[in-house]
């Protein structure tokens, strides 16, 4: 673990220079420790693939005093991925056609049928390494290598909310309408980010996301339930043992 102050009000915690589930688990353990401490000087904790940024109130605590009190260097944060269950959010997705206009591109690049792409993409549980770019945009690891597809050479000016895409070795989804260059293969009706809901984002870094292929009729039914306030979000949540 390497801890370094980067400004008067922020410090970074770095783990080993590699990206894998074990490192992500260790990052999650460190975040849990810091948040459970409920230190009055800590303003926010933001994690990514192999690092954590902590914002603190420098008017009440010095960096040196805060680091000493957190005692990060003397605690074993090694991955315990085999010891505890992980939260999995299963998102229903309509693949192809107007919902996934780039499904054919991914299939051709991968030399697979559209049905094979859908099966490979929906068979995995994807680890959320980081959330960024947009509020609620998950950067997911675990994409099958057969589906690796380059980003679009010319990004779209508008991608619909809920669109599921592939860019190189990652998959992810757009929580809100946005420009973007990912290859769009499907779309979920679930509003994964909603300012008026608690929690605003249905998942956090360290959780898992899986995708379930559905038909257009079910997509429309879920949309109506969400619009009417009758959708039960708890039905999306499961555990990965």
What pLDDT, in 10s, does the model give residues 26-66? Answer: 888 899 889 988 899 999 999 888 899 999 999 999 999 99
pLDDT in tens, 80-121: 555 567 899 999 999 999 999 999 999 999 999 999 999 999
Q: Work out the pLDDT band at 190, boundaries 50, 70, 90.
A: very high
DSSP state of 1: -
Which residues in 31-45 are b (16+ Cβ under 10 Å) and which e? beebeeeebebbeeb
Which whole-number Å values give the CA distances from 21 to 57, 72, 91, 129, 142, in the listed order? 32, 21, 21, 8, 9
Which whole-number Å values give the CA distances from 231 to 96, 226, 235, in the listed order? 24, 5, 9
pTM of the entire predicted model: 0.84
pLDDT at 217: 97
What dotted CATH number matches 86-240? 2.40.100.10
The structure tokens listed for 98 are 């107007």
In terms of pLDDT, which residue wins out, 152 or 132?
152
Q: How many CB atoms lie within 10 A of CB 195?
A: 6
Q: How many CB atoms lie within 10 A of CB 55?
A: 15
Cα 76–80–85 angle (5° rounding)? Answer: 145
110-114: long-range contacts, CB 8 A cutoff, minimum separation 24? 110/146, 110/147, 110/148, 110/149, 112/146
Report the interhelical angle of 63-70 vs 21-37 (nearest 10°).
110
Q: Work out the pLDDT band at 23, boundaries 50, 70, 90.
A: confident
> The domain at 2-74 falls in which architecture?
2-Layer Sandwich (3.30)
Domain boundaries, the chain: 2-74, 86-240
Taking Cα atoms as reference points, which of 119, 120, 173, 170 lies closest to residue 141? 170
User: Is 237 a residue whose pLDDT tops 90?
Assistant: yes
């Amino acid at each position: 673990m390497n801890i370094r102050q980067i400004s008067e009000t922020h410090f970074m915690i770095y783990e080993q220079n590699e990206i894998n589930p074990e490192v992500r688990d260790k990052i999650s353990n460190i975040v849990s420790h810091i948040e459970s401490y409920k230190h009055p000087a800590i303003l926010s904790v933001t994690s990514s693939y192999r690092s954590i940024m902590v914002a603190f109130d420098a008017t009440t605590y010095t960096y040196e005093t805060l680091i000493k009190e957190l005692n990060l260097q003397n605690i074993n944060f090694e991955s315990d991925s085999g010891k505890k269950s992980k939260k999995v959010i299963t998102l229903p997705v309509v693949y192809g056609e107007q919902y996934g206009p780039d499904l054919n591109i991914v299939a051709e690049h991968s030399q697979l049928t559209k049905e094979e792409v859908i099966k490979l993409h929906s068979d995995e549980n994807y680890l959320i390494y980081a959330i960024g770019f947009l509020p609620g945009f998950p950067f997911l690891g675990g994409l099958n290598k057969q589906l690796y597809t380059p980003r679009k050479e010319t990004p779209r000016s508008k991608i619909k909310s809920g669109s599921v895409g592939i860019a190189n070795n990652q998959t992810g989804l757009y929580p809100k309408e946005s420009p973007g260059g990912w290859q769009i293969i499907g779309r979920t009706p679930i509003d994964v980010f909603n300012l008026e809901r608690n929690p605003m984002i249905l998942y956090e870094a360290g959780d898992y996301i899986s995708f379930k292929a559905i038909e257009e009729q079910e997509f429309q039914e879920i949309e109506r339930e969400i619009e009417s306030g009758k959708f039960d979000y708890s039905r999306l949540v499961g555990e990965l043992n």
